Amino acid sequence: MLNLRKKILVAIDGSPQSDKAAEEAVRMADCNRSQFKSCVYAMLVLPNAPTSTYTDFVPTAPVTETEKWDELRRRIFYVVEKSASESDIPLEMIVEYGEPADKLIEFAKREQVDVIVIGSSGKGFIQRRIKGSVSHRVASTAGCSVYIVRG
């Protein structure tokens, strides 16, 4: 089996499930002991910024442009950064705005990602029916392998 560099995309949102997925993604990258190091892309997808209305005189800034962003970013990406640095795995952190499943799939296709690692929230049947499941949408529509990590 040819063991070349793998591109691994992990969905990050700061939840315990995404932290577990991040650890799994780094572990997968670390298993590749060939001369070509695997790379982990950690993606945080934020909801679309609220649109301004004519009554707004001063529109609110996106969260990434606020004073709190550096601390928030550090907390959300802490586990994946720590795991990747301990294992000496190349890590690229990406922040996007939009629908999480769509953004993950678009990025995976554009960058020719080999596997998407995503945490499963373990929502109940009713919540899954109302809100939908990002992990299910990604698994059913992605053009690459999807590894769902249970919390």
Domain map (residue ranges) of the chain? 7-52+60-150
Check if the beta carbon of residue 29 is closer than 8 Å to that of residue 8.
yes
Summarize the confidence of residues 26-40 as an average pLDDT.
83
| Local structure of 92: helix, strand or coil | strand
Percent with pLDDT over 70 in the chain:
75
CA angle 55, 61, 62 (to 5 degrees): 120
Architecture of domain 7-52+60-150: 3-Layer(aba) Sandwich (3.40)
Q: pLDDT tens, 115-127?
A: 999 998 755 555 4
Q: What distance in Å separates the CA atoms of residue 15 and residue 30, rounded to the nearest whole number?
A: 23
Summarize the confidence of residues 105-116 as an average pLDDT.
95
| Local structure of 26: helix, strand or coil | helix
108 or 60: which leads in pLDDT: 108
Q: Is 106 left (phi over 0), alpha (psi -120 to 50) or beta?
A: alpha
42 or 123: which leads in pLDDT: 42
Select from 9, 1, 21, 23 the least CA-distant residue to 105: 9
Q: How far is CA 16 from the centre of its chain?
A: 13
Under the banding of pLDDT at 50, 70 and 90, the label for residue 130 is very low
Q: What distance in Å separates the CA atoms of residue 143 and residue 48, rounded to the nearest whole number?
A: 24
